Amino acid sequence: MLKIVHAADLHLDSAFSSLSAEQAAMLRREQRRILEDIAAQAERMSADLLLLSGDLFDSDRCFGETAEALCSAFEQTRAKIFISPGNHDWYSAHSPWARMQLPENVHVFTSPEIEKVELPELGCTVWGSAFMSDSAQPLLEDFHADGAGINIMVLHGDVDAPDSKYGYISREDITASGLDYLALGHVHKFSGVQRAGNTSYAYPGCAMGRGFDETGEKGILCGSVEKGGCDMKFVPLSGRRYEMLRVDISDADDVADAVRQAMPEDCGRDIYRVILCGEHEETPDTAALEGALGGLCCHLEVRDESRPKVELWAAVGENTLKGGFLRRMKALYDAAQTDDERRRVIKAGSYGLAALENREEG
Ligand SMILES: [Mn+2]
């Protein structure tokens, strides 16, 4: 049985272009700390292998401090480390992978051909390959693992996407691979631990979100792998989260208060996109809300998808006194120049409608 930590898609040195320059730099520093978290986790569980399935860097370059952080994290664990460069951090003679002085325990795959590394002292064989540009041919075609002991592969590629230019991997090829565990990278969402034939495979997802298409908890996979089986579990990391929150402002007298109440208490470190929805009499001022509520979390973006209240116009087509009244009011509403004017028309319309229906306004 092998104890394994599997991570992928750290995308170190990402631009974080939707944030301010200071915040972006802060998040890049935090990304580097994630490396330490991963190495510490490997050391805590006395992992035999730390598998890193590509896109560790966001590009084929990295800052000096990132290379240093990587090396110092790798020195903090006794696990053997295997890296398969991906479509963002592909291997070349000029890439950080070729230029860095990596510690002894690190093996970087440097060829598009699948390479075999035998580790008799651990009773396993580790396979892997590298992207050499931002695309790769299908990866596992005609592959069959014939290594001694437990067969593990570290690979960046795209399962279930036959048209992908990012190294398509078919389920049939996984089934026929003879691998015990296929440690994948590329898909940024945790896939769950999957099974094809006797092979277990998984994408841990990215280690920290970098945008609103990577929301929620992010982490790595930790556990054990044996011949024909594995017990790998998702372990969340402590990085900041990107979160999206829809807030229905239909019944809100004060939109800012409604947002404040909807935000979770422990959101202070996180990056939020609040989407206002429902029906509301006034068009919310998103810039003012961002200003007023920005302190609630690390960064707040407010989008308005709310609609103006429309029930008022339901009977606008009726050939009745009510219909005629509503048509007059609707024309005023459509011609109104300001939100204030529109609000007054709606107010007048609902009073008038209530009077015509002989009921209290509300
Ligand atoms: Mn990636």
Over residues 23-78, the pLDDT tens digits come to: 999 999 999 999 999 999 999 999 999 999 999 999 999 999 999 999 999 999 99
Q: Which domain holds residue 108?
A: 2-236
CA of 332 from ligand 1 middle (Å) equals 53
Distance between Cα 233 and ligand 1 center (Å)? 20
As beta bridge partners, residue 119 has 124
pLDDT(310) > 70: no
Q: Ligand 1: distance of its center to the CA of 335 in Å?
A: 50
Q: Are residues 71 and 186 in the same domain?
A: yes
The pLDDT assigned to 45 comes to: 97
Q: Are residues 351 and 226 in the same domain?
A: no
The residue among 236, 264, 292 that closes a domain is 236
E strands present in the chain: 2-7, 49-52, 80-83, 106-108, 115-119, 124-128, 150-156, 158-159, 168-169, 181-185, 194-196, 199-202, 219-226, 229-236, 242-248, 271-277, 279-280, 299-304, 307-308
Q: Is residue 275 part of a domain?
A: yes
Is residue 281's pLDDT more than 90?
A: no
d(C-alpha 80, C-alpha 121), whole Å: 11
Distance 186 CA to ligand 1 centre (A): 4
pLDDT (mean) for 270-286:
91
Q: How confident is the model at residue 359 (pLDDT cuts 50, 70, 90)?
A: confident
Domain boundary pick from 216, 236, 256 = 236
Average pLDDT over residues 332-339: 88
Of the pLDDT bands very low, low, confident and very high (cuts 50, 70, 90), residue 307 is confident
- Kindly tell me if the per-residue pLDDT of 339 is higher than 80: no
- Residue where a domain terminates, one of 205, 236, 267: 236
For position 92, what pLDDT does the model report? 96
pLDDT at residue 360 greater than cutoff 90: no
Rounded to the nearest angstrom, the distance between the alpha carbon of 297 and the centre of ligand 1 is 26
Q: Determine the distance separating the centroid of ligand 1 and the alpha carbon of 88, expressed in angstroms.
A: 7
- The domain tally of the chain equals 3
Dihedrals phi, psi of 174, to nearest 5 degrees = -65, -45
Mean pLDDT of the chain: 94
What share of the chain in percent tops pLDDT 70? Answer: 99
The per-residue pLDDT for 283 is: 86
Statement to judge: residues 246 and 182 lie in one domain: no
My answer on whether 299 and 344 are in the same domain is no
Q: What is the pLDDT of residue 70?
A: 96
CATH of the domain at 84: 3.60.21.10
DSSP 101-125: ---TTEEE---SS-EEEEEGGGTEE
Whether 272 and 304 map to the same domain: the answer is yes
Q: Is the pLDDT of residue 346 over 90?
A: no
Q: Mean pLDDT across the stretch 186-190? A: 97
Spacing, Cα 9 to ligand 1 middle (Å): 5
Residue carrying the six token digits 């204030």: 340
Instruction: Please check whether residue 362 lies inside any domain of the structure.
Output: no
**Together in a domain, 205 and 327:** no
- Kindly give the distance from the C-alpha atom of residue 151 to the centroid of ligand 1, in angstroms, as a whole number: 24
Beta strands 181-185 and 199-202: pairing type?
parallel
**Model confidence pLDDT, tens digit, residues 214-251:** 999 999 999 999 999 999 999 999 889 999 999 999 88
Whether residue 232 is found in the same domain as residue 346: no
What local confidence, expressed as pLDDT, does residue 362 receive?
A: 58
> Is residue 224 situated within a structural domain?
yes
Q: Specify whether 57 is located in the same domain as 145.
A: yes
> What is the Å distance from ligand 1's center to 89 Cα?
9
Q: Are residues 136 and 254 in the same domain?
A: no
Whether this prediction's pTM lies above 0.95 is answered by no
What is the band of 347 on the pLDDT scale with cuts at 50, 70, 90? Answer: confident
Residue 96 Cα to ligand 1 midpoint, Å, equals 17
pLDDT at 94: 93
Residue 251 lies in a domain: yes
Q: What is the pLDDT of residue 125?
A: 98
Evaluate whether residue 315 is within a structural domain.
Answer: yes
Note the pLDDT of residue 280.
Answer: 86
How close is the Cα of 187 to the center of ligand 1, in Å?
Answer: 6
Q: Are residues 304 and 315 in the same domain?
A: no
User: Is 213 within a domain?
Assistant: yes
What pLDDT score was predicted for residue 251? Answer: 84
Which tens digit of pLDDT belongs to each residue from 133-159?
999 998 899 999 999 999 999 999 999
Average pLDDT over residues 158-172: 93
Distance from Cα 157 to the centre of ligand 1, integer Å: 10
Please tell me the predicted confidence (pLDDT) of residue 342. 82
* CA 95 – ligand 1 centroid, Å: 17
Give yes or no: residues 219 and 257 share one domain. Answer: no
Q: How far apart are CA 300 and CA 305, in angstroms?
A: 16
| 281 and 187, same domain (yes or no) | no
Does 59 map to a domain? yes
Ligand 1 geometric centre to CA of 249 (Å): 36
Ligand 1 mean position to 203 CA, how many Å? 11
